[in-house]
Amino acid sequence: MSATETLTRIPEHLEFSRKTCAAYSYFFRDEEGDGPIETVVSLANRAAPSIQALSETETILDLCSGPGRFWTVYNGLALQPKSRVVTLDFAEIRKPQLAARQHLPLQQYTHIEGDGGNLPIADGSLAVVVNNLGLDQILPKERAISELARVLRPGGRAFINLNTSRLMLPPDLEDRLAKTTKEIMRKEKKRATVSPKLRFERDALLCKRNFRRQGSFFDASVDGESETIQQQIEDLFVSSGFDSAVVRLNSNPRGKQWWEVDLQKGGI
């Protein structure tokens, strides 16, 4: 894999959500727009032993990395001198926004603009994959999971956090959507300038609403269902080429919930 940044072809049907994701990351970075920080801290703690144990020249992929928040949190933890890090996201993220650039030795780091459902990465070439709140946005999910299983080497590990509706959807989503839509229409009627930020906010809220309509398989929105969903998630990963899947529901003090999935492929 080259040390330069690579651009892969992004399928047309992903264009809208990828532009929205980029804008969302850009404008709402400080507002938990990419999920609560506790999700990243948990991911870093779970993945750290595997990342630090790598003895040879091996590669770690941060899938659906966004601007690379994981590496800001991981900063204090060791990275083996010969390990390589690849961050990958389909959104257009400008170079200065790539947080990982400040936290990783540049010669060990590559960012790829690409689709998680069609990874430009060779079979069995990765030792560790981390993914915070992105795998369930790659559709269809079977494709996302089979790509993940394909690129991991035997004995490789993946650490994943999945969205639930209690994380994704603000309770006031419909109100906010109505408010931003009304404001845009009011401005358009008066032929006043509509700020890109307002347009992107409406688009991002629409994306979230679509996500709910599709109905996330990983959802745990109803109390009492979570054990069944936990088992379904485990079965899905185990039937897709992973030898072990440890699945649990975690939450932060503000009541946001997410699924944590720790995977191993072969080599047990």
Which residues of the shown chain bind ligand SAM in the complex (CB under 6 A)?
A: 14, 21, 25, 34-35, 40, 64-66, 69, 89-91, 115-117, 132-134, 137-138
Q: In whole angstroms, how close is the CB of 192 to ligand SAM at the nearest point?
A: 30
Closest contact distance (angstroms) between CB of 182 and ligand SAM is 27
Q: Which residue type does 130 have?
A: V
- CA separation (Å) from 126 to 58, 83, 119, 200? 7, 11, 12, 35
Q: Give buried/exposed letters for 27-49 (b at 16+ CB in 10 A, else e).
A: beeeeeebbbebbbebbbebbbe
CB of 239 to ligand SAM, least distance (A): 22
Instruction: Indicate the residue whose CB is closest to ligand SAM.
Output: 66
Rounded-to-integer distance, Cα 191 and Cα 68, Å: 38
Which of residues 6 and 244 has its CB atom nearest to ligand SAM in the complex? 6
* Helix or strand holding residue 62 (H, E): strand 59-63
Q: How far apart are CA 17 and CA 13, in angstroms?
A: 8
Q: 183 or 260, CB closer to ligand SAM?
A: 260
| Cα distances (Å, whole numbers) of residue 2 to 7, 111, 112, 244 | 12, 10, 10, 31
Nearer to ligand SAM, 132 or 264 (CB): 132
Burial class of residue 118, CB neighbours in 10 A (0-12, 13-18, 19+): middle
Identity of the residue, 98 or 245, whose beta carbon is nearer to ligand SAM in the bound complex? 98
Smallest distance from ligand SAM to CB 96, Å = 16
Q: Tell me if the bond preceding 140 is cis, omega within 30° of 0.
A: yes
Could you tell me the smallest distance in angstroms from the CB atom of residue 15 to ligand SAM?
A: 11
Closer of 244 and 252 to ligand SAM (Cβ): 252
Shortest Å distance, C-beta 259 to ligand SAM? 14
By the 8 A CB rule, do 237 and 14 touch?
no
Nearer to ligand SAM by Cβ, of 77 and 238: the residue is 77
